[in-house]
Amino acid sequence: MKIWILSFIFIVFLNCNKEAAEAKSIPKDSIQLIENTKKDSIKTPENKPGIFTFTTELCNNTGYYDKTKYTKEELEGTYKLYFELNGLLLDSPHVFGLEALRETRRNKDQILQKLEKDFTEKKKLIENLKIVNIPYWQNMKRQKYQELLQYYERQKIQIMAYSDPSILLSTKTSQKCSRFVKALNSDDTQMVEVWRKLREEMSKRNGNPQEVMNEFENHLNSVDKKDYAIIDLIVFGWGNCVNNEIERPNYDEKMNDQFYALFIKMDSECDEP
């Protein structure tokens, strides 16, 4: 009996030594690798990319972005700057005929009030726009703000000038645009001379140049000649000239590339053009 008990104890002792030896034989690097693998396999919400959905002309887009670089609010602001604020910032009357001219003159005060209200809202929108902290986009925001200020001044002056062209004499105008200001505030001969030259320039850019000049001759011989001249010289002359000198962001391929570069990955579903 004693022999059997001693044999059993001896076998258990040998097995314990064997397990201890096997445990010692496992390299430390392997143990560390196992621990790291376990840690890496635990994905926290912070490691997952953020999701930002937006639309363009033909596409519904889902962008995946690094949440350690940008917030969703910053991307929303940048998207507004990139897509929604592209184009005309303020609404104002389109004066291409006598009826529109007369209506603008009649409702000048209301139009100016609406313009100022629209300007104040857009100014506040751009000022409070939170965008990504990247020099390119910060510069685009500054340019958009300057564009709004300049465009508002131009629209305000233009609306007042339909009733009183002399107001243009007190505005800062480049030499290129000043010829229209002088014509609008000169005698009939000089006004017609500049008006005719403007129409000739317009006809060269038109698919039917003769029609442009025929219309000019009809307006020239009309009892409303002065008003027709005011429309052309303010809208197509001074207005277009000053509008071309407004500093504004370039909505080009570079801006498109800069916006899409904010995302790690992009999924898009697009309609046929």
In this structure, the answer to whether residues 178 and 236 fall within a common structural domain is yes
Residue 258 lies in a domain: no
Contacts of 229 by beta carbon, 8 Å cutoff, 6+ apart: 184, 191, 192, 195, 219
In this structure, the answer to whether residues 220 and 136 fall within a common structural domain is no
Residue 127 lies in a domain: yes
Count H helices, E strands: the chain? 12, 3
Residue 40 lies in a domain: no
pLDDT tier for residue 235 given thresholds of 50, 70 and 90: very high
Residue 8 lies in a domain: no
Q: Which domain holds residue 196?
A: 172-248
In this structure, the answer to whether residues 60 and 128 fall within a common structural domain is yes
In this structure, the answer to whether residues 155 and 194 fall within a common structural domain is no
State pLDDT tens for residues 115-154.
Answer: 999 999 999 999 999 999 999 999 999 999 999 999 999 9
pLDDT tier for residue 52 given thresholds of 50, 70 and 90: very high
In this structure, the answer to whether residues 186 and 147 fall within a common structural domain is no
pLDDT of residue 175: 86
Identify the H or E element spanning 8: helix 2-25
Residue 222 lies in a domain: yes
Residue 9 lies in a domain: no
State pLDDT tens for residues 81-116.
Answer: 999 898 778 988 999 999 999 999 999 999 999 999
Residue 3 vs residues 7, 8, 17: alpha-carbon distances, Å: 6, 9, 21
Residue 137 lies in a domain: yes
Q: What percent of the chain has pLDDT over 90?
A: 74
Domain total of the chain: 2
pLDDT of residue 89: 80
Q: What is the distance between the alpha carbons of residues 53 and 74, in angstroms, rounded to a whole number?
A: 13
| Residue 45 in this model has a pLDDT that exceeds 80 | no
Residue 262 lies in a domain: no
CA 135 to chain centre: 15
Q: What does pTM read for this prediction? A: 0.78
Q: In what order do the strands lie in the sheet with 59-65?
A: 50-55, 59-65, 265-270
Contacts of 271 by beta carbon, 8 Å cutoff, 6+ apart: 58, 59
In this structure, the answer to whether residues 184 and 153 fall within a common structural domain is no
